[in-house]
Amino acid sequence: MTETQNSPAVQTKGRQNRSTARKRNIVVRLRHLPVFSLIILAAVIFVGVFGPYFAPHDPVESNLMDAYTPPFESREYILGTDHMGRDVLSRIMGGARISLIVGLTVVFIAGAIGTLFALVSGFFGGWWDTLIMRLTDTFLSLPYLMVAIVMAAVLGANVRNIIIVLCVIGWAGYARVLRSEVLQLKEADFVRLAVTAGCSRTKIMFKHIFPNIINTLVVLATLQLGVTIIAEASLSFLGMGVPPPNPSWGLMLAQGRDYITYAWWLCVWPGVAIMLTVLACNLLGDWLRVRLDPKFRQI
Amino acid sequence: MAKTILEVKDLQTYFFTRRGVVRAVDGVSFSLNEGETIGLVGESGCGKTITSLSILRLVPQPAGRIQGGQIIFEGEDLLQKSEAEMRQIRGAKISMILQDPMTSLNPVFTIGEQVAEPIRLHQKLRKILVWDKVREILGLVKIPSPEVRMREHPHQMSGGMRQRIVGAIALSCQPRLLIADEPTTALDVTIQAQFLKLINEIQRELNVSMIMITHDFGIVARVCDRVAVMYAGRIVETAGIRELFNHPHHPYTKALMDSLPKVEKKVDRLYSIEGQPPDLRDIITGCAFAPRCPRVMDICRRQYPPQSTVEEGHHLSCWLMAGQGGANG
């Protein structure tokens, strides 16, 4: 570089420094990511969305000649086959889709209902509060298996009804936890300041209070995702969820239970799938809890 | 003669609780000229804050209610306005600074967004103009490098800086009246002085009237033009700042002044007023200060003293003065 270009060179150097600093920052951020959770969840989501296109077999196609193939023995059935000769790997891939559909839908709908109720209950107080909180108490004390059995008996056991049951039960938890946050925030000085600035009540509720409970909401939702996946598995296990022959992790556990003495893999693989997914959800929730605190953002 | 911007007439704000009616503000009257600062001084619980909340019509619901009186702001009675009309006034024409800067800002929004909010609420401006205005106001309250600071969150600021931002929010729509409720209590002394100086400067620049609520006579001396001393929901003495400091007349005002530490007089123990302020649930006949007053007379316990005028702009309610100076209440 010649001397005449000295000053632009200095400028570029400064710019380079800044960009390397930014790169380093990204590296630091990446290092703090919950790699395990993200890999597991990414895999579950990928398989849930695209599974049917590259699954080695049709998850409901039975091939009695190959029944009870143990895992890792045949190249065609890596995780083995069940009592009807269905490929366990393909069924787990299919089960991921059902778990995801149920989990995400329930978390979304129950979260929305619960948050709305929490805001109204906590912010408006009075009659609204009493009404909504007694309703919450009632729903929290409903035994969800009983409700599910009744629903399955009346409406029939299918994915839509599982979602309805789990939503009916699920919103109350959000409402209870978030309401206490709203109550606290309602008395906060910044809310009073917004009132003195001429904000209307609805605007305060959605613009000032809601963003402050999003952190808790996201953490609750990730934890709820795990709980919902387990609940779906339990319902399917009990025969009140996804009807056979559809692949569902809970249903696979239930069917595998009968053969556990000589075909361990029928229970172990879906069990592992449930455990890893739920664990990943919970770890992600834990990481988000710390990460979403605005005080942590600058680090 | 300066224009009167605010006139509070016989304001009564009561709280209806299960254990009786609390007369938090019981017949407060004062007026405020354009660009003038009045200090509301008194012990905690004497009704200073409730008076200011009444002006904004933000008395805590559902127990509190403005029972009577008039609040005339720019020629219109605020008590006759609808809630929607009040929202147009709050933040645009009358705004408020709260006590604790650490909790007055919303932790999830950037400083810029919070300063912009009242502007967006009250003025229809284009986005770019709003940000220009935010920058200008942050400069006005002497935030260094506003361009950078407006992108930051409240937790990245010190207490003094946050209080200046709260000030910026209050001033963002160029209000005619600023109510400051003990704005410096949570700040340390050097920052206090800085903040008060800044407020005074801005006030002069924008010609804003101000109600300064405080229990600190030091602050009163520094920023106020006039003082109203409150006791048990009433104003007992009001006077210009010099007049009040040089010739306090009401025994309560004198007692407050005596309980301030002074440099030139070294004492072992500071003077303190005997007894407690009265329970505002009781019906008080006569002067509320009578049980604690060193110069109490028989009539004090029977009848509330009429307002008397010591001189132009210096009024008080005390039987000691009722004979002299000509009663007019």
Q: Mean pLDDT, chain A, as a whole number?
A: 81
Provide the 8-state DSSP code for B80: G
Q: Which residues of B199-228 are buried (b: 16+ CB within 10 A; e: fewer)?
A: beebbeeeebbbbbbbbbbebbebbbbbbb
Which residues, in sequence order, are bridge partners of residue B239?
B227
Instruction: Tell me if chain B has a CB within 8 Å of the CB of A196.
Output: yes
pLDDT at A1: 40
Q: Which helix (H) or strand (E) holds B307?
A: strand B307-311
Q: Is A262 or A30 the better-scoring residue by pLDDT?
A: A262
Spatial separation of the C-alpha atoms in residues A255 and A244, rounded to whole Å = 10
CA distance A119 to A214: 12
- What's the rounded mean pLDDT across residues A243-272? 84
The answer to whether residue A159 scores a pLDDT higher than 80 is yes
Residue A114 has pLDDT above 90, yes or no: yes
Q: How many CB atoms lie within 10 A of CB A3?
A: 6
Confidence at B104, pLDDT banded by 50, 70, 90: confident
The per-residue pLDDT for A297 is 53
CB contact (8 A) between residue B91 and residue A208: no
Q: How confident is the model at residue A89 (pLDDT cuts 50, 70, 90)?
A: confident
What predicted TM-score, i.e. pTM, was given to this entire model? 0.76
* Alpha helices, H only, chain A: 6-31, 35-54, 88-124, 126-140, 144-155, 159-186, 189-196, 201-203, 210-237, 249-257, 265-291
Residue A261 CA to chain centroid, in angstroms? Answer: 33
Nearest residue on chain A to B175, alpha-carbon basis: A197
Give alpha helix (H) positions in chain B.
48-55, 83-89, 111-122, 127-140, 146-149, 159-171, 189-206, 217-223, 241-246, 251-258, 298-302, 319-322
| Chain A: closest CA distance from residue B236 (Å) | 28
Residues B233-238, mean pLDDT to the nearest whole number: 90
B188 or A276: which carries more pLDDT confidence?
A276
Residue closest to A238 by CA, chosen among A154, A160, A153? A153
CB B15 within 8 A of CB B34: no
Q: What average pLDDT does chain B have?
A: 86
Q: For B267-325, write each residue's pLDDT tens digit.
A: 777 778 877 888 888 878 888 888 888 888 888 888 888 888 888 888 888 888 765 54
Tally of residues, chain B: 329
Q: What is the DSSP track for B157-177?
A: S-HHHHHHHHHHHHHTT--SE
Domains and CATH numbers, chain A: 73-296 (1.10.3720.10)
* Residue type present at position B98: L
- Given this model, what pLDDT does residue B179 score? 92
Chain A residue whose CA is closest to B105: A190
Q: Where are the domains of chain B?
A: 4-93+173-322
Rounded alpha-carbon distances, angstroms, from residue A202 to A178, A199, B108, B238: 17, 8, 18, 41
Confirm if B259 and B273 have CB atoms less than 8 A apart: yes
Q: Is A197 on the interface with B (CB under 8 A)?
A: yes
What is the percent of chain A where pLDDT is above 70? Answer: 87
Inter-chain residue contact A199 with B121, CB threshold 8 Å: yes
- In order, the DSSP letters of A35-69 are HHHHHHHHHHHHHHHHHHHH-SS-TT---GGGTTP
User: B95: which chain A residues are within 8 Å (Cβ-Cβ)?
Assistant: 196-197
- The CATH number given to B4-93+173-322 is 3.40.50.300
Q: Which of A87-91, A292-296, B88-92, B273-277 has the least mean pLDDT?
A: A292-296
